[in-house]
């Protein structure tokens, strides 16, 4: 087994999307190979309704999957195929846009006016870019939770972990999406298949992610599983940690524990032509999508 090195630690940056929703973006609209097959990750956490209530009115998607995970508040959604629904506390929607869909997402706060959730964009390989759109709406109570004797708790949204399999299936990138809580003072190691790209996103508490190699000139003083390693950072609220290759990620929880998303997926390694919410393989395919939008042929007939 080998520890994954920490390639980068960075804070999510404030930005605005939709009709004026204030959120924090951990990555997106940069180098698409950096976290291939993932393209974008947003944290839409707000305590003031005026910062989110304008929502995300009707907009198109093609060639990607959008994964929305709601921690508190609700998100009402509707699309051009006639689907409607509401995501509430703990719910997940995995939308495969495929050949094209128009949809909207309108958030509402909880009883205190608070809204908190995440959206991740996953790329689709060329063979699936024009597949038929579909939704997987999963209620919070249907997502399995596994616990360890030390109090570590993991919600398995997709993929397999500690003998449990998440309810979302049939995803092209074969992702693993985990919501992890490690109690105060506990050091925990999580296994990730070597072939996957992986990142963590800390959103509660803080934790030091163990690195397989220290920065140049730093003396090694820690030891985990018989290997000398370096505690590289103490990552807290709204922090992205991008990992290199290896089999394991180890975290030392801080005094209040740490909660983070641990997400990994198989890289697609194909050319990316990207404009806003449409992601194709070539400029010609991207231009065709723009033409389809103008001509009213963006939505393919459902048979």
> Which domains occur in the chain, in start order?
6-265 (2.60.120.10)
Q: What is the pLDDT of residue 212?
A: 58
Q: Is the pLDDT confidence value at 207 over 60? A: yes
Look up the pTM and report it: 0.90
Ranges assigned E (strand) in 192-266: 197-211, 222-224, 227-231, 239-243, 248-265
Q: What is the pLDDT of residue 170?
A: 64
Residue 277 binned pLDDT confidence (cut-offs 50, 70, 90): very high
> Which residues, 6+ apart, have CB-to-CB distance to 291 below 8 Å?
none
Q: What is the pLDDT of residue 215?
A: 38
Residue 85 binned pLDDT confidence (cut-offs 50, 70, 90): confident
| 3-state secondary structure (DSSP) of residue 50 | helix
Average pLDDT of the residues in 275-299: 94
Q: What is the pLDDT of residue 80?
A: 85
Q: At 132, list the tokens.
A: 């038929």
Q: Is the pLDDT confidence value at 160 over 80? A: yes
Q: Is the pLDDT confidence value at 228 over 70? A: no
Residue 54 binned pLDDT confidence (cut-offs 50, 70, 90): very high
Average pLDDT of the residues in 231-236: 69
Q: Which residue has the higher pLDDT, 280 or 1?
A: 280
Residue 171 binned pLDDT confidence (cut-offs 50, 70, 90): low
Query: What is the distance between the alpha carbons of residues 272 and 297, in angstroms, rounded to a whole number?
Result: 23
Q: What is the pLDDT of residue 293?
A: 92
Query: What is the distance between the alpha carbons of residues 107 and 113, in angstroms, rounded to a whole number?
Result: 11
Q: What is the pLDDT of residue 191?
A: 94
- Is the distance from CB of 148 to CB of 128 less than 8 angstroms? no
Average pLDDT of the residues in 178-191: 96
Query: What is the distance between the alpha carbons of residues 215 and 18, in angstroms, rounded to a whole number?
Result: 40
Q: What percent of the chain has pLDDT over 70?
A: 91
Query: What is the distance between the alpha carbons of residues 251 and 182, in angstroms, rounded to a whole number?
Result: 8
Q: Is the pLDDT confidence value at 216 over 80? A: no
Read off the DSSP letter of residue 214: P
Q: Is the pLDDT confidence value at 69 over 90? A: yes
């Amino acid at each position: 087994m080998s520890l994954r090195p920490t390639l980068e630690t960075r804070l999510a940056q404030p930005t605005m999307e939709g009709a004026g929703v204030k959120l924090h973006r951990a990555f997106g609209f940069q180098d698409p190979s950096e976290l291939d097959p993932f393209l974008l990750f947003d944290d839409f956490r707000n305590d003031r309704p005026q910062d989110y209530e304008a929502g995300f009115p009707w907009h198109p998607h093609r060639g990607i999957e959008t994964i929305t995970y709601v921690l508190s508040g609700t998100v009402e959604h509707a699309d051009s195929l006639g689907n409607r629904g509401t995501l509430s506390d703990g719910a997940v929607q995995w939308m495969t846009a495929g050949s094209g869909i128009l949809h909207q997402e309108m958030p509402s706060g909880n009883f205190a006016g608070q809204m908190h959730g995440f959206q991740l964009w996953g790329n689709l390989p060329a063979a699936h870019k024009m597949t038929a759109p579909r939704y997987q709406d999963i209620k919070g109570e249907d997502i399995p939770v596994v616990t360890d004797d030390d109090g570590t708790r993991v919600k398995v949204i997709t993929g397999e972990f500690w003998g449990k399999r998440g309810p979302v299936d049939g995803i092209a990138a074969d992702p693993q999406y985990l919501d992890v809580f490690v109690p105060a003072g506990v050091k925990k190691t999580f296994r990730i298949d070597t072939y996957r790209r992986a990142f963590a996103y800390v959103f509660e508490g803080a934790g030091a992610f163990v690195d397989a190699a220290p920065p140049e000139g730093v003396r090694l003083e820690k030891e985990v599983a018989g290997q000398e390693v370096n505690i590289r950072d103490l990552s807290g609220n709204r922090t992205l940690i991008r990992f290199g290759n290896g089999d394991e990620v180890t975290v030392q929880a801080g005094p209040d524990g740490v909660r983070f998303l641990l997400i990994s997926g198989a890289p697609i390694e194909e050319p990316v032509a990207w404009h806003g919410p449409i992601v194709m393989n070539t400029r010609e395919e991207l231009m065709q999508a723009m033409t389809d939008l103008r001509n009213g042929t963006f939505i393919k007939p459902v048979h």
